A and B are shown apart, each in its own frame.
Chain A
Amino acid sequence: MIDRPTVTQLAADLRARKISSVELVRACLARIEASQPALNAFVTITADQALEQAEAADRELAAGRGGPLAGVPIGHKDLFCTAGVRTTCGSRMLENFVAPYDATVVARLKAAGAVMLGKLNMDEFAMGSSNETSYFGPVRNPWKTDLVPGGSSGGSAAAVAARLLPAATATDTGGSIRQPAAFCGVTGIKPTYGRVSRYGMIAFASSLDQGGVIAQTAEDCARVLRSMAGFDPRDSTSVDIPVPDYLAGLDAPLAGVRIGVLKEFFDTGLDAGYERRVREAFAVFERLGARLCELSLPNIPRSVPAYYVVAPAECSSNLARYDGVRFGHRCSAPRDLADLYKRSRSEGFGPEVKRRIMTGTYVLSAGYYDAYYLKAQRVRRMITGDFERAFAEVDLLMGPTTPTVAFALGAKSADPITMYLNDIYTISANLAGLPAMSVPCGFVDGLPAGLQIIGPHFAEQRLLHAAHRFQRETDWHTRVPERCA
Chain B
Amino acid sequence: MNAHQGTRVSKGAATEPGAAWETVIGLEIHAQLATRSKIFSGAPTAYGAAPNTQACLVDLGYPGVLPVLNAEAVRMAVRFGLAIGARIAHQSVFARKNYFYPDLPKGYQISQYELPIVAGGTLDIVLEDGSRKRIGVTRAHLEEDAGKSLHEGLAGLTGIDLNRAGTPLLEIVSEPEMRSAKEAVAYMKKVHTLVRYLEICDGNMQEGSFRCDANVSVRPAGAEKFGTRAEIKNVNSFRYVEKAILYEVARQIELIESGGKVIQETRLFDPDRGETRSMRSKEEANDYRYFPDPDLLPLELDAAYVESVRAELPELPDAKAARFSAQYGLSDYDAGVLTASRELADYYEAVTRGVPGQPKLAANWVMGEFAAALHKEGLEISAGKLPAERLAGLLARIADETISGKIAKEVFEAMWANGESADAVIASKGLQQITDTGAIERAIAEVMAQHPDQLAEFRAGKDKLFGFFVGQVMKATRGKANPAQLNALLKEKLPG
A residues in contact (CB < 8 Å) with B: 79-81, 87, 89, 94, 97, 99-101, 103, 198-203, 205-207, 233-237, 313-314, 316-317, 319-321, 323, 325-328, 337, 341, 361, 364-366, 369, 373
Is residue B44 within 8 Å, beta carbon to beta carbon, of the partner chain? no
Given A326-B60, A366-B287, 18 more A-B residue pairs with CB atoms under 8 Å apart are: A80-B64, A81-B64, A87-B63, A87-B64, A94-B63, A103-B64, A200-B65, A235-B66, A236-B66, A236-B295, A236-B296, A237-B295, A314-B294, A320-B98, A320-B106, A321-B105, A323-B102, A373-B291
Is residue B108 within 8 Å, beta carbon to beta carbon, of the partner chain? yes
A321 touches B61 (CB 8 A): yes
| B333: A residues at CB distance < 8 A | none
Interface residues as binary, B51-83 with A (CB distance below 8 Å gives 1, 0 otherwise): 000000100111111111100000000000000
Return B320 CB to nearest CB of chain A, in Å. Answer: 38
| B305: A residues at CB distance < 8 A | none
A236 touches B69 (CB 8 A): yes
Return B17 CB to nearest CB of chain A, in Å. Answer: 41
| B64: A residues at CB distance < 8 A | 79-81, 87, 99, 101, 103, 199-203
Return B147 CB to nearest CB of chain A, in Å. Answer: 10
B57 touches A364 (CB 8 A): no
CA of A207 to CA of B296, assembled, Å: 10
Q: Which of A206, A313, A321, A361 contacts B63 (CB 8 A)?
A: A321
**How many residues on B have C-beta within 8 angstroms of the other chain's C-beta atoms?**
29
| B60: A residues at CB distance < 8 A | 326
CA of A44 to CA of B334, assembled, Å: 74
* B:355-377 near A, CB below 8 Å: none
Given known A-B contacts A236-B296, A237-B297, A326 and B61 have beta carbons under 8 A apart: yes
| B106: A residues at CB distance < 8 A | 320-321
| A327: B residues at CB distance < 8 A | 62-63
Residue of A nearest to B94 (CB): A236
A199 touches B66 (CB 8 A): yes
Instruction: Report 23 cross-chain contacts, Cβ distance below 8 Å, ordered by A residue.
Output: A94-B63, A101-B57, A101-B64, A103-B64, A199-B65, A199-B66, A200-B64, A234-B68, A235-B66, A236-B296, A237-B296, A237-B297, A316-B98, A316-B289, A317-B96, A321-B61, A323-B102, A325-B160, A327-B63, A337-B102, A337-B158, A366-B287, A369-B291
Residue of B nearest to A89 (CB): B63
Interface residues as binary, B231-257 with A (CB distance below 8 Å gives 1, 0 otherwise): 000000000000000000000000000
Return B23 CB to nearest CB of chain A, in Å. Answer: 30
Return A96 CB to nearest CB of chain B, in Å. Answer: 13
Q: Which of A79, A314, A317, A373 contacts B107 (CB 8 A)?
A: A317
* B:288-302 near A, CB below 8 Å: 289-291, 294-297
Q: Which 9 A-B pairs have the closest CB atoms?
A: A320-B107, A207-B294, A364-B289, A206-B294, A200-B64, A321-B61, A81-B64, A202-B63, A366-B287
Q: Which of A99, A205, A314 contacts B62 (CB 8 A)?
A: A99
| A361: B residues at CB distance < 8 A | 289
Return A335 CB to nearest CB of chain B, in Å. Answer: 12
CA of A94 to CA of B289, assembled, Å: 26
CA of A202 to CA of B290, assembled, Å: 21
Residue of A nearest to B61 (CB): A321
Is residue B100 within 8 Å, beta carbon to beta carbon, of the partner chain? yes
B295 touches A364 (CB 8 A): no
CA of A304 to CA of B61, assembled, Å: 30
Given known A-B contacts A89-B63, A327-B63, A100 and B108 have beta carbons under 8 A apart: no
Please indicate which of the listed interface residues B57, B69, B294, B296 has the most CB atoms of chain A within 10 Å of its own CB.
B294
A326 touches B105 (CB 8 A): yes
Interface residues as binary, B206-250 with A (CB distance below 8 Å gives 1, 0 otherwise): 000000000000000000000000000000000000000000000
Return B440 CB to nearest CB of chain A, in Å. Answer: 78
Given known A-B contacts A100-B57, A103-B64, A325-B160, A313 and B108 have beta carbons under 8 A apart: no
Given known A-B contacts A317-B108, A321-B105, A99 and B63 have beta carbons under 8 A apart: yes
* B:116-139 near A, CB below 8 Å: none
Return A152 CB to nearest CB of chain B, in Å. Answer: 16
CA of A337 to CA of B149, assembled, Å: 12
CA of A258 to CA of B296, assembled, Å: 35
B291 touches A313 (CB 8 A): yes
Return B215 CB to nearest CB of chain A, in Å. Answer: 20
B67 touches A236 (CB 8 A): yes
| A79: B residues at CB distance < 8 A | 64
Return B92 CB to nearest CB of chain A, in Å. Answer: 14
Given known A-B contacts A323-B107, A325-B102, A325-B160, A317 and B63 have beta carbons under 8 A apart: no
Residue of B nearest to A324 (CB): B102
Return A265 CB to nearest CB of chain B, in Å. Answer: 27
Interface residues as binary, B261-301 with A (CB distance below 8 Å gives 1, 0 otherwise): 00000000000000000000000000101110011110000
Please indicate which of the listed interface residues B60, B96, B289, B295 has the most CB atoms of chain A within 10 Å of its own CB.
B289
Residue of A nearest to B158 (CB): A337
Return B205 CB to nearest CB of chain A, in Å. Answer: 30
| A316: B residues at CB distance < 8 A | 98, 289
CA of A234 to CA of B69, assembled, Å: 10
| A326: B residues at CB distance < 8 A | 60-62, 105, 160
Residue of B nearest to A337 (CB): B102
CA of A319 to CA of B62, assembled, Å: 11
Return A171 CB to nearest CB of chain B, in Å. Answer: 12
| B107: A residues at CB distance < 8 A | 317, 319-321, 323
Return A82 CB to nearest CB of chain B, in Å. Answer: 10
Residue of A nearest to B102 (CB): A325
CA of A29 to CA of B66, assembled, Å: 33
CA of A162 to CA of B103, assembled, Å: 46
Return A344 CB to nearest CB of chain B, in Å. Answer: 11
B66 touches A234 (CB 8 A): yes
CA of A101 to CA of B62, assembled, Å: 10
| B105: A residues at CB distance < 8 A | 321, 325-326
Return B178 CB to nearest CB of chain A, in Å. Answer: 29
Return A462 CB to nearest CB of chain B, in Å. Answer: 25
| B63: A residues at CB distance < 8 A | 81, 87, 89, 94, 97, 99, 202-203, 321, 327-328
| B61: A residues at CB distance < 8 A | 321, 326
CA of A87 to CA of B64, assembled, Å: 10
| B295: A residues at CB distance < 8 A | 203, 206, 236-237
| A101: B residues at CB distance < 8 A | 57, 64
CA of A205 to CA of B98, assembled, Å: 15
Please indicate which of the listed interface residues B63, B68, B160, B296 has the most CB atoms of chain A within 10 Å of its own CB.
B63
Return A385 CB to nearest CB of chain B, in Å. Answer: 19
Please indicate which of the listed interface residues B64, B102, B296 has the most CB atoms of chain A within 10 Å of its own CB.
B64
| A97: B residues at CB distance < 8 A | 63
| B98: A residues at CB distance < 8 A | 316-317, 320, 364
Return A298 CB to nearest CB of chain B, in Å. Answer: 26
Return B428 CB to nearest CB of chain A, in Å. Answer: 62
CA of A341 to CA of B104, assembled, Å: 13
| A317: B residues at CB distance < 8 A | 96, 98, 107-108, 289, 291
Residue of B nearest to A197 (CB): B66
Please indicate which of the listed interface residues A79, A81, A313, A325 has the most CB atoms of chain B within 10 Å of its own CB.
A325
B108 touches A198 (CB 8 A): no
| A373: B residues at CB distance < 8 A | 291
